[in-house]
Amino acid sequence: MAIEILIVDDNADIRNILNELILDAGYKTRLAANFNQALAEIDKKIPDVAILDVKLDKGDNDGIELLSHIKSKNKDVPVIIISGHANIEMAISSLKHGAFEFIEKPFDQTRLINFIKRAVENLKLKEQNREFETKLFSSYELIGDSKNISNIKDQIEKISVSESRIFINGPSGSGKELIARKIHKNSKRSKNPFIILNGALLDSEKYELELFGEEKENGSISYGALEKANKGTLLIDQVSEIPLDIQSKILRVLIDQKFKRLNGNNDINVDVRLICSSSKDLKDEIQLGNFREDLYHRLNVFEINVEPLNMRISDIPLLVRYFSKKICESYNIRGLEIDENDSYILNHNWQGNVRELRNLIERVAILQPNSKEKTSQIIKESLKSENINEKVSENRLSIPLKEAREKFEKEYLTMQLKKFNGNISKTANFVGMERSALHRKLKGLGIKEFN
């Protein structure tokens, strides 16, 4: 597949120079002359690589804003920032926001092409890693003994044997795809296809093609996701990102149980179990007018809610142990010496959830430290920028000692309760308090006990 590069610059001469240079190097291009054009091109289809001028027509940091927009859609897209008003602060800012490279105008053409080639190599390497992860993913288990994960395991066991449509709600990286795979694997459809359609990554003009397929003039047929998943399961990931006009067509398929391919005249009947997932609250999207309420009720026959990892701390040590074993097997290396109760790991906010934790362990495996101290140092360096303790200490410098102590006690005891799944005896034993004293302390701090 040809690599497509988006060029964004308000100077027509530079745009044309870049276009010719990149076309001569064998890549496809798309062009945008201002902020709004660039935004429309990005929203229409995420490019493979982007080259962004920092200053366009909207403000001094248009390129940085576009960079953040691209990264919010797909963090793996390499973005090269160019500027004729470059300084050290601007370069650092662009790299902090996730730029692949920063280059100053007037740029050396050979140097820019080398940057692009490295960006493409980086992109292909990440694609290969994703393919590898997909193969590995199919062997992963749903790990955890928190109340949330225990409930989900029970739900999977009960709903796998049914044919009901399922909606999985949870933050990015929390394991929604894994849950969908487990449902498929435990169902009577397990020997048939499991197809994934990502609503956030599709070209807005090709949704129908990707879903329904196409009958071409030469008589050949391009099959869509619905037919590819026939007799099996179709997972529509990030269903909230599908345009309203396509939502209405999906609703019609669910009602009629049939559809037509693009340019086709005959009805196609398929037998597909539909699972949808989203990291957005679809009820909010309905209120905003971004999602059809009637489609939501059709999709949400059975709902599974996955909590973020920082809400189920007791699962973290189990996940550390599990991923350490799986990743060591994959890389064919000896076991990792990771302290599963490391305070940096337990206290981290885990915005990327289980995926972020797995990536951390994979980073340790790749570096292969030869001691517990070096392992601990890698973990600290990887997590310290967002470590909760650091944020808490900064926030507490401006409040009285009594208030700071109460806040610390409340957060500390809440975390310990989550770690032990609400078990008062285990929590009291760990923190060194009598059960009755812990009960009084929890009541005094306004912490609700849970089972």
Counting runs of H as helices and runs of E as strands, what totals does the chain give? Answer: 20, 12
> For residue 120, what is the enclosing H or E element?
helix 109-137
Strand order in the sheet with 166-169: 194-198, 233-237, 273-278, 166-169, 302-305
pLDDT at 396: 45
The three-state secondary structure class of 262 is strand
The DSSP bridge pattern shows strands 221-222 and 214-215 to be: antiparallel
pLDDT at 399: 57
Domains of the chain: residue spans and CATH: 4-134 (3.40.50.2300), 147-307 (3.40.50.300), 310-387 (1.10.8.60), 399-445 (1.10.10.60)
What's CA 130's distance to the chain center, in Å? 12
- What is the amino acid identity at position 332? N
Segment holding 41, helix H or strand E: helix 35-44
Specify the 3-state DSSP secondary structure of 169. Answer: strand
d(Cα 37, Cα 331) in Å, to the nearest integer? Answer: 44
417 closest CA partner among 353, 346, 348 = 346
pTM of the full structure:
0.60
Check: CB of residue 70 under 8 Å from CB of residue 79. Answer: yes
DSSP string, 180-215: HHHHHHTSTTTTS-EEEEETTTS-TTSHHHHHH-EE
Q: Which one-letter amino acid corresponds to residue 108?
A: D
pLDDT averaged over consecutive 10-residue blocks of the chain (451 residues)? 88 92 92 91 89 81 84 85 77 83 87 90 77 58 93 94 94 93 92 88 78 80 87 93 90 89 88 94 92 94 94 93 87 80 84 90 82 84 59 48 70 78 82 81 80 56
Which pairing describes strands 79-83 and 101-104: parallel, antiparallel, or unpaired?
parallel
